[in-house]
A and B are shown apart, each in its own frame.
Chain A
Amino acid sequence: MYVEMKNIYKQYGNFTASNNVSFGIEQGKLAALLGPSGSGKTTLLRMIAGLETPNSGDIYIDGQRVNDIPAAKRGIGFVFQSYALFRYMTVYDNVAFGLELQKMPKDQIRTRVMELLEITGLSGMEKRYPNQLSGGQRQRVAFARALAPRPHVLLLDEPFAAIDAKVRTELRLWLREVVTKLGITCIFVTHDQDEAVEVADQIIVTNHGEIEQVGTPFEIYKSPDTPFVAQFIGKPSVVEGYDALNGFDAIEGAKRAIIRPEFVKISRLGKLERFMSAAEEGIVEDVVFRGNHLDVTINIKGISVIGEWSLEKDTLEIGEKVNVLIYRLYIIDEQQNRTYLCENKEMQEEDIFYI
Chain B
Amino acid sequence: MTEQEKLERQSKRTRMILIAVSVLFIFLMLVVPLAAIVVNSLKEGFGFYIQAITTEYVRNALKVTLIATIIAVVVNTFFGICAAWLLTKFSFKGKQVLATLIDIPFSISPVIVGLAFLMTFGRLGWTYPAIRAINQWLGTNFRIAFAIPGVVIATIFVTFPYVSREIIPVLNAQGKDEEEAAALMGAKGLKIFFKITFPQIKWALIYGIILCTSRALGEFGAVNALSKTRGETFTLPLEIDALYMSGTDVSITSAFAVSSILVIIAIIIMVVRNILEHRSNKKMEKGEA
| Partner-B contacts on A (CB < 8 A) | 49-51, 71-73, 76, 78, 80, 82, 84-89, 97-98, 101-102, 129, 131-132, 145, 149
Contacts and interface: CB of A to CB of B under 8 A. Distances in A.
15 contacts: A72-B183, A72-B185, A80-B177, A82-B177, A84-B177, A86-B182, A86-B196, A88-B199, A88-B200, A97-B185, A101-B186, A101-B191, A129-B287, A132-B288, A145-B181
B185 A49 contact: no
B196 A98 contact: no
Contacts of A72: 183-187
Contacts of B44: none
A3 B255 CA distance: 76
Interface centre among A51, A82, A86, A132 (most CB of B within 10 A): A86
B242 to A, nearest CB: 49
Given A80-B177, A101-B185, A101-B186, 20 more contacts: A71-B184, A72-B183, A72-B186, A76-B184, A78-B184, A82-B175, A82-B177, A84-B177, A84-B178, A84-B180, A85-B178, A86-B182, A86-B195, A87-B200, A97-B185, A97-B195, A98-B185, A132-B288, A145-B181, A149-B185
Given A129-B287, A131-B288, A132-B288, A86 B178 contact: yes
A110 to B, nearest CB: 18
Interface of B: 175, 177-178, 180-187, 191, 195-196, 199-200, 287-289
B181 A84 contact: yes
B89 to A, nearest CB: 13
A148 to B, nearest CB: 9
Contacts of A49: 184
Contacts of B196: 86, 88
A301 to B, nearest CB: 54
Nearest to A78: B184
Contacts of B177: 80, 82, 84
Nearest to A73: B186
Nearest to B174: A87
A80 B200 CA distance: 19
Contacts of A80: 177, 180-181
B237 to A, nearest CB: 39
B99 to A, nearest CB: 20
A71 B177 CA distance: 14
Contacts of B289: 132
A149 B183 CA distance: 14
A72 B287 CA distance: 31
B64 to A, nearest CB: 39
Contact of A51 (B180, B185, B186): B180
B178 A87 contact: yes
A125 to B, nearest CB: 14
A131 B287 contact: yes
A143 to B, nearest CB: 13
Nearest to A82: B177
A329 B187 CA distance: 54
